[in-house]
């Protein structure tokens, strides 16, 4: 059999196996679970015994996602065999799914598995820099706004960045704006500044996510210099 014929043979075999596929089985699993964590039972979901599963020579086919999961054919348990980091695999995508293919030899059947990776609150919000300087003239008007850096949070959904808090002070309030892609904040001047009274104002901006319990972002120290106009 030459290379062309061999290639054609495997295509035909693959297509025939797909015809005998029993559809897709979906399993959810949280990221960062311990190695060995069982996420489902293949035999139970295929409605066969563990003995039947073993005799069919059931195995997960090689592929980029096969490193994360394996099957104990004696029990039917599908388990985690490597660290799963949702942010590393899927970035900020709302849905994170790993697709696997499994093959049974007797009879020849191809199974498709979809593993939904659920986010856990394993990241705290953070700012690009630890310090941010805002220059404000002494004669700035009340209500004047000063945009602040936007915090980052690799987590998604309910675990992502949700709010900002500003340390207590007599000059500025904080206005938080929720957009489709990010949450931003602005300082709003509430009281006229007096350089002779206080030339530098130290504030702390904290980013907070929606996890339970929530995680706070890296403190961003804001220094306000009241310069004469």
Q: Is residue 18 part of a domain?
A: yes
Amino acid 198: pLDDT = 83
Q: Do strands 131-137 and 220-227 pair parallel, antiparallel, or not at all (unpaired)?
A: parallel
Domain count, the chain: 2
Query: Mean pLDDT score of the chain, rounded to an integer?
Result: 88
CA distance linking residue 11 with residue 53, whole number of Å: 26
Q: Are residues 52 and 93 located together in one domain of the fold? A: yes
State the sign of the Cα–Cα–Cα–Cα dihedral 208, 214, 217, 219.
positive
Whether residue 204 sits in one domain with residue 113: no
How high is the pLDDT of residue 2? 52
Same domain, 97 and 147: no
Structure confidence at residue 222 as a pLDDT band (50, 70, 90): confident
What single string gives the DSSP state of each residue in 25-69?
A: EEEEEETTPPTT-EEEEHHHHHT--HHHHHHTT-EEPPSTTGGGE
Query: What residues are paired with 97 via a beta bridge?
Result: 116
In the predicted structure, residue 32 carries a pLDDT above the cut 50: yes
> Could you tell me the strand order of the sheet in which 59-60 lies?
24-30, 108-118, 97-105, 59-60
| Whether 219 contacts 206, CB under 8 Å | yes
- 3-state secondary structure (DSSP) of residue 192: coil
Q: Is 6 a residue whose pLDDT tops 50?
A: no
CB contact at 8 A, 209 and 196:
no
Let me know if residue 125 belongs to a domain. Answer: no
> Would you place residue 22 in the very low, low, confident or very high pLDDT band (cuts 50, 70, 90)?
low
Do both 193 and 89 map to the same domain?
A: no
Give the pLDDT of residue 229: 55
Q: 17-26, 32-41, 184-193 — which is least confidently predicted?
A: 17-26
Asked if pLDDT for residue 10 goes beyond 80, the answer is: no
pLDDT of residue 190: 95
CATH number, domain with residue 35 = 2.60.40.60
Handedness of CA 44, 50, 52, 58 (dihedral sign): positive
Range of the domain at 28: 3-118
Instruction: Give the end of a domain, one of 94, 118, 142.
Output: 118
Give yes or no: residues 136 and 114 share one domain.
no
Q: Do 147 and 45 belong together in one domain? A: no
Q: 87-125: per-residue pLDDT in tens?
A: 999 998 999 999 999 999 877 889 999 999 999 999 999
8 and 114 in a single domain? The answer is: yes
Q: Report pLDDT digits (tens) over 140-178.
A: 899 999 999 999 999 999 999 999 999 999 999 999 999
């Amino acid at each position: 059999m030459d290379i062309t014929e061999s290639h054609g043979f495997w295509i035909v075999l693959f297509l025939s196996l797909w015809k005998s596929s029993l559809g897709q089985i979906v399993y959810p699993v949280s990221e960062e679970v311990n190695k060995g964590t069982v996420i489902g039972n293949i035999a139970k979901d295929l409605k066969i015994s563990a003995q039947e599963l073993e005799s069919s020579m059931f195995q997960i086919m090689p592929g980029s996602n096969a490193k994360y999961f394996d099957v104990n054919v004696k029990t039917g348990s599908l388990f985690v065999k490597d660290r799963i980091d949702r942010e590393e695999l899927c970035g900020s995508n709302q849905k994170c799914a790993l697709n696997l293919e499994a093959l049974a030899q007797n009879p020849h059947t191809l199974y498709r598995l979809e593993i939904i990776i659920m986010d856990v609150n394993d990241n705290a919000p953070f700012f690009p820099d630890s310090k941010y300087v805002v220059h404000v003239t002494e004669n700035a008007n009340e209500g004047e706004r000063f945009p602040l850096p936007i915090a980052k949070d690799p987590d998604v959904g309910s675990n992502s960045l949700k709010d900002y808090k500003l340390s207590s002070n007599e000059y500025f309030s904080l206005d938080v704006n929720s957009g489709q892609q990010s949450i931003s904040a602005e300082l709003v001047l509430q009281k006229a500044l007096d350089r002779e009274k206080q030339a530098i104002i130290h504030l702390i901006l904290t980013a907070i996510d929606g996890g339970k319990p929530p995680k706070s972002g890296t403190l961003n120290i804001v220094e306000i210099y009241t310069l004469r106009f």
